[in-house]
Amino acid sequence: MESSEKLKQWIRRHEQFSARAYVDGYDKKHNKPFYSIGYGHQIQPGDNLDAQSVITQDRAEAMLEKDLKYFETYVNISVQLNLNQPGYDALVNLNYAVGPGTVISSGLYAALNSKNDLLAIHIWSYLGTVVNGKFCSVNAQMRNHEIDMFFDGIYPIF
């Protein structure tokens, strides 16, 4: 499967285009901030971008497409269920938001694949909702939207 245009629109709306790099969290392991740009693209080594970078909207679109392909790979190899499009989009968005390592280590895929929906909802609802030791209501709302997409096929209204 592939991400739908609805998901891409949702990400564009939620992340909002930023031509300039911005601090988007803190890497405790390396004791430094990490930066994002475009539509929430986390700057990685090899991107030829840094904290001072400025990009065009066209480059942001290309980065979004590339990022989604990367996260789609994780969903495609980790989920053993027949997903509908909203369910697939919900998992891709979750990976986009919190990273595939977080999703894998959470046990969410195991809960979903074993059809333990209550455990899956419990795990999902907490992923990425604590930022720098504080509850983040925006991320909690995002998780609720993803859960609705996955279990009820309901895309958020935007």
Q: Is there a domain that residue 100 lies in?
A: yes
Closest CA to 78 of 68, 93, 63, 88: 88
Q: Is there a domain that residue 158 lies in?
A: no
pLDDT at 158 over 70: no
The parent domain of residue 51 ranges over: 5-152
Sign of the C-alpha dihedral, residues 111, 112, 116, 118?
Answer: positive
Closest CA to 39 of 56, 75, 64: 64
Q: Is there a domain that residue 10 lies in?
A: yes
How many CB atoms are closer than 10 A to CB 145? 19
pLDDT at 132 over 80: no
Based on the number of CB atoms within 10 Å of its own CB, is 83 exposed (0-12), middle (13-18) or buried (19 or more)? middle
Q: Is there a domain that residue 44 lies in?
A: yes
- Exposed e or buried b for every residue in 5-24, given b needs 16+ CB within 10 A? eebbebbbebbeebeebeeb
CA dist 85 and 81 (Å) reads 12
Q: Is there a domain that residue 157 lies in?
A: no
Give pLDDT tens digits for 80-104: 999 999 999 999 999 999 999 999 9
Instruction: Residue 97: give its domain's CATH number.
Output: 1.10.530.40
How many CB atoms are closer than 10 A to CB 4? 15
Q: Is there a domain that residue 109 lies in?
A: yes
Q: Is there a domain that residue 134 lies in?
A: yes
Instruction: Quote the pLDDT of residue 33.
Output: 92
Average pLDDT of every residue of the chain: 95
Instruction: Give how many domains the chain has, as a whole number.
Output: 1
